[in-house]
Amino acid sequence: MHPSTDGPTLLSPARIRLALLALALGGFGIGATEFVAMGLLPNLAADLLPSLNAVDPDQANAQAGWLISAYALGVVVGAPTIAASAARWPRKALLLVLLTAFTLGTIASALLPSFGLVLVARFVAALPHGAYFGIASLVAADLMGPGKRARGVAFVLSGLTISNVIGVPAITWLGQVYGWRIAYFAVAVIFAATFLAVILLVPFQAGDPQATMREELKAFGRLQVWFALSVGAIGFGGLFAVYTYVAPLVTEITKLPAATVPLVLVVIGVGMTVGNLVGGALADKSVRRTIYGFFGVMIVALIGLALSAQFLVGLLIGVFLIGAAAAALSPAIQSRLMDVAQGSQSIAAATNHSALNIGNALGAYLGGVAISAGFGYLAPVWIGVGLSVLGVILATASFAIDRSRRSQGIHLPYGTQSISTFGQ
């Protein structure tokens, strides 16, 4: 039996697994709502920007990429705001509120008629994203028990990665055949199903009665928190610079039919699923080595893709390794952030997803700028290389501070010194 509780009752291992599956189903829905737009980018451009698309499809695709950036920015805004203000809430109740917001926001995305209104809907639909993953990660970590924190985080994230194997390609195909609006209605159904699963399967967990917004926000006064956030925000731009424009990469560079795009998305999703499981296990052993190792894989894979994307084999190997490396980094960066944030656990768990979605917005934006400037659909891949290299540099600086503190005999826990006191 495991010490996790539902009221006074001990939970069996089977009940714990069911609760984790319910949380992962939410990740499955989030993966679908976030990543379906990548595969349907030309469809969104044709329907929402018909005049521009008729004159210049490349410009229309680049502008449609704003929908992806809007979602990412919604995550950035919503994650710390919701996590800090609702840290006292019972975790299950907060998850249900967030799932309700997901469902309604996704339905609005499917119904609204114009590009501008859909842009706003994507921003609003993204607000619960980081808070959901953050709170679900805390619930999962408690359910898994000591020494298995990163694996608990990885289990929740497995819903997102499996979504990229099954949900995103299937819903992308649905959107290509029946229209992108039907695709978003399908995503809304997934969120509604998750709502029911959480009600039935996730045990009660109290919030932190001592938490206040002021206490949670103290995390942002710690230098190492900013380094950890920056590693995710900059480094993950490498993945999203490629993922955002994967549809035109497949059709314009590799010269494959549009029907091939869902299959390429399956390959990315398989890579993400494998990487998430490996990264979660390795991060429990060494966060530092996991971050360095998989940033190395990411950089090599991006360069390989840029040089060989015109060949089917080069495309598939490249996107598989990029997806695997990015997904392996996620639980490692999450664990690092929770370490350095100390007592601000709710906001630390949630803001990791803000950081990753800054990477999403940054990669999508810079890739769109490069395409609009006429550099072609391989330009975002090279931008991804540069962003990943910057991620390594930031991680190196952060770990150097750790070594410096240890060499000075400072053995304070991570995150106990603020920006103002470092270096004094």
pLDDT at site 373: 85
pLDDT at site 195: 96
Phi, psi for residue 88 in degrees, rounded to 5: -80, -15
Q: How confident is the model at residue 150 (pLDDT cuts 50, 70, 90)?
A: low
Does residue 190 surpass a pLDDT of 90?
yes
Phi, psi for residue 255 in degrees, rounded to 5: 65, 40
Helices (H), 112-236: 115-126, 129-144, 149-162, 168-178, 180-201, 213-217, 223-235
| Gyration radius of the chain's alpha carbons | 21
Question: Bridge partners of 6?
Answer: 9
Tens digit of each residue's pLDDT (9 = 90 or more) over 322-344: 999 988 888 788 778 777 776 66
- Closest to 369 measured CA to CA, from 385, 383, 354: 383
Structure tokens at 89: 């809430």
pLDDT at site 213: 65
Give the mean pLDDT of 140-158. Answer: 73
Q: Which residues contact 86 (CB under 8 A, 6 or more apart)?
A: 94, 131, 207, 346
Residue 419: in which H helix or E strand, if any?
none
| Rounded-to-integer distance, Cα 96 and Cα 233, Å | 28
Residue with tokens 């590693």: 231
User: Mind giving me the DSSP string for 264-316?
Assistant: HHHHHHHHHHHHHHHHHHHHTT-HHHHHHHHHHHHHHHHHHHHHHTTSHHHHH
Q: How confident is the model at residue 300 (pLDDT cuts 50, 70, 90)?
A: very high
- Lowest-confidence pick of 163-172, 200-209, 245-254: 200-209
Question: Bridge partners of 5?
Answer: 10
Phi, psi for residue 2 in degrees, rounded to 5: -110, 145
Q: Give the domains, in start order, of the chain with CATH numbers.
A: 2-407 (1.20.1250.20)
Q: Which residues contact 338 (CB under 8 A, 6 or more apart)?
A: 149, 345, 348, 349
